[in-house]
Structure 1
Amino acid sequence: MSEELMISPAAPAAPAAGSALTSAQFRKLAEVPPEIEWFANIDSLQTRRAYQNDLRGFMAFAGIVSPEDFRLITRSHVLAWRKRLEEEQLGGATIRRKLAALSSLFEYLCEANAVTHNPVKGVKRPPVESWQGKTPALGDVQARALLEAPNAKTLKGKRDRAILSALLYHGIRREELARLKVKDYNQSRRGVPHLRIKGKGGKMRFIPTHPGTLTLIEEYLEAAGHGHDPDAPLFRPVKNNVHGHTLTALTPDSIYFEVVLKYLRKLGIFGENMGPHVMRATAATNALDNGADIAKVQEWLGHANIATTRIYDHRKTRPEDSPTFKVSY
């Protein structure tokens, strides 16, 4: 038998000369299962959290205790899981997402030659109930009232006005807002101030900064005093009881619960589906209702697929355009 065939393909090579890794560290990294690699390659924290919950549910159902057990899964396992999810009366969108998470993992395993096929392929998924999103959009009067709700005379009020304006006029995600640094809100492109947004998957996009938002951010920075530091988080806690300072950025949850939800409740705006996406839904719906090109809105929102953008396009379903109001007797 030749020397080549005597070498086990599973045995990792020794670290190259000058490597910062010890031999033990190198071997450990070389033996990372592709199942773990797939999970580590998901950039979005929100997507990673959702997929983690979805896959944890499947693992519990199928009795998976180690990453390698995924390689024993057949289509029958997936069909049985789908039936269980349906018996739990989960919504069609939830079931589709769970199946998509599992399919995404198996696609990666196929590419890594860890499995021969994707057992989720061919498994029928629940139909899309509607092209309209379930998150409601605020009306124009409600949006204007929300922008005026914070106290403009306090530091927190100045910050919250700037946050609400940035969300309502630019359609950005709260995670994207939380990542903004001082240097990102006034990026000049062709002489026009832009927001520099780091979106999902690390994709960068530039959005013209609304003049009203620009003014509110500058008023907030003048009061907060950190506008001179370009690498500082743009929006900070006014008082941070955890760290004892206000040098850290607001978290996405803080932006929703302590700013958006707080002022919605103050105005008496409640709703079962009034979730974290309400500001983005409002911005997108308003832009489309006022004649924005849907392809431009797709780019503006950072959507990979225009079908996602169409969820916010209610122009064909506006009550005032119904034939009901064209009938005349």
Structure 2
Amino acid sequence: MSNGPDADSFSRTDSAASMDSADAGQPRPLPSAFTEVMAQFRRYLEGERARSGHTVRAYLAGLESLFTFAAREGIETPAQLELGTLRRWLGGQSEAGRSRATLARHTATVRTFTSWALREELIATDPAVRLQAPKRERTLPGVLRQGQLGRIFERLSEAAADGAPLPLRDRAMVELLYATGIRVGELAGLDIDDLDTDRRTLRVLGKGNKERTVPYGLPAATAVDDWLRRGRPKLAAGHSGPALFLGARGGRIDQRQARSVVKELLEGLGDTSATGPHALRHSAATHLLDGGADLRAVQEILGHSSLATTQIYTHVSVERLRASYRQAHPRA
């Protein structure tokens, strides 16, 4: 069964996909067979596949868009879906201006659904076996330069100098994001016991509930220790539990809050197109490879299931090398 694209790409899917212009017209209630199978598919994604909330919502939004289109063609059950129906739906999405990345996500959604439906004997044959989507454009991720990172950490240290809890937390979060390359969702899910301060390693629960251990350096260790000693106790409350990072009201920090912190810092630089916490992940991976780290080691640190996903960072490193060559060599 195909695992589909990375959940990070699904999380960028328009949550209103089912109401997009490709499905223009007055919305109608879906046939009961479709709503029932969507509920079953949700349980499968959340349970057996252990997909994140973002990914589940993206899968279901795409599926609802397909079912809405199919219902307009007179189709009332998943068993009536045919390859032609799927192609016409994707064609409508393309005509509505959907990007190749969005069409690829929709295709992966349908393939995952029909494969599951076939296994559950909800359909007799899999109509998506020969469904093709345009190849996704692979753009090089934004990477921060060392000088830019230095300015970020300098700003964070200055803000945390007076010992206020939120600046201490923000410095520790950003240091840890860059030191380990973990995803922002993984950061938000960390507990205090996930830290091994003696070995300076972090136990991370990644996609599909896969656990990995990631090392971090002295600057991150110092920032996290400062947060635990001087910052966290000022925010901790009865409902804080074991969460490593807390919000202003004492609850576990959520991804939105962490994204907002990083977004503000990057915008403050004024000289980068990098956006969001993933820029720190991209930068960590690229800098590791630039420093001579083994590709397999970087794959393990990032928690990629496929080495092909990690290899995009080698492309970044090569581009940086070429840029340096063109700038420095007299006959470049």
Q: Give the TM-score category using the shorter length.
A: 0.7 to 0.9
**Greater fraction helix:** 2
Cα offset for 1:253?
Answer: 1.0
Counterpart of 2:71 in structure 1: which amino acid?
A: G
Q: How does 1:103-182 map to 2 (within 5 A)?
A: 103-130=111-138, 132-133=139-140, 135-150=141-156, 151-152=159-160, 153=162, 154-182=164-192
The Cα RMSD (Å) is 2.9
Cα offset for 1:155?
Answer: 1.8
Q: Cα–Cα, structure 1 residues 80 and 162, in superposed 2: closer, same or farther, change >3 Å? A: same
1:156-189 deviation digits (Å, cap 9, x = unpaired)? 111111000000111000000000111112265x
Query: 1:165, 1:193 → 2: CA distance?
Result: 13
Q: Cα–Cα, structure 1 residues 305 and 32, in superposed 2: closer, same or farther, change >3 Å? A: closer
Q: Is 1:96 equivalent to 2:104 in the alignment?
A: yes
Query: 1:32, 1:125 → 2: CA distance?
Result: 23
Counterpart of 1:171 in structure 2: which amino acid?
A: G
1:246-301 deviation digits (Å, cap 9, x = unpaired)? 1x1100111001x1012222332563x62442221111121112211111111110
Give the corresponding residue for 1:262: 264
Query: 1:326, 1:267 → 2: CA distance?
Result: 29
Q: Is 1:223 equivalent to 2:230 in the alignment?
A: yes
**Residue identity (%):** 27
Query: 1:233, 1:118 → 2: CA distance?
Result: 44
Q: Cα–Cα, structure 1 residues 33 and 210, in superposed 2: closer, same or farther, change >3 Å? A: same
Query: 2:326, 2:231 → 1: CA distance?
Result: 53
| Counterpart pick for 2:243 among 222, 233, 239 | 233
Q: Is 1:301 equivalent to 2:279 in the alignment?
A: no
Q: Is the 8 A contact 2:262 2:276 kept in 1?
A: no
Q: Which runs of 5+ in 2 are unaligned?
A: 1-36
Query: 1:231, 1:125 → 2: CA distance?
Result: 45
Cα offset for 1:93?
Answer: 1.6
SS in 1 for 2:133: coil
| Counterpart pick for 2:319 among 317, 320, 325 | 317
Q: Is the 8 A contact 1:185 1:209 kept in 2?
A: no
Counterpart of 1:202 in structure 2: which amino acid?
A: N
Q: Is the 8 A contact 1:148 1:161 kept in 2?
A: no
Q: Is the 8 A contact 1:183 1:231 kept in 2?
A: no
Cα offset for 1:124?
Answer: 1.7
Cα offset for 1:305?
Answer: 0.9
| Counterpart pick for 2:208 among 195, 198, 201 | 201
Give the corresponding residue for 1:24: none
Q: Cα–Cα, structure 1 residues 325 and 267, in superposed 2: closer, same or farther, change >3 Å? A: closer
Q: How does 1:32-111 map to 2 (within 5 A)?
A: 34-41=40-47, 42-43=49-50, 44-63=52-71, 69-111=77-119
Query: 1:322, 1:215 → 2: CA distance?
Result: 37
Counterpart of 1:253 in structure 2: which amino acid?
A: R
Query: 2:38, 2:268 → 1: CA distance?
Result: 50
Q: Is 1:214 equivalent to 2:224 in the alignment?
A: no
Corresponding residue pairs, total = 284
Counterpart of 1:254 in structure 2: which amino acid?
A: Q
Counterpart of 2:258 in structure 1: which amino acid?
A: I
Q: Cα–Cα, structure 1 residues 225 and 169, in superposed 2: closer, same or farther, change >3 Å? A: closer
Query: 1:206, 1:144 → 2: CA distance?
Result: 26
Q: Is the 8 A contact 2:246 2:252 kept in 1?
A: yes
Mean alpha-carbon deviation: is it higher for 286-295 or for 318-327?
318-327
Q: Cα–Cα, structure 1 residues 221 and 35, in superposed 2: closer, same or farther, change >3 Å? A: closer
Q: Is the 8 A contact 1:226 1:232 kept in 2?
A: no
Q: Which runs of 5+ in 1 are unaligned?
A: 1-30, 241-245
Query: 1:62, 1:277 → 2: CA distance?
Result: 36
What TM-score results when the alignment is normalised by the length of structure 1? 0.78
Query: 1:110, 1:182 → 2: CA distance?
Result: 43
Q: Is the 8 A contact 2:181 2:282 kept in 1?
A: yes
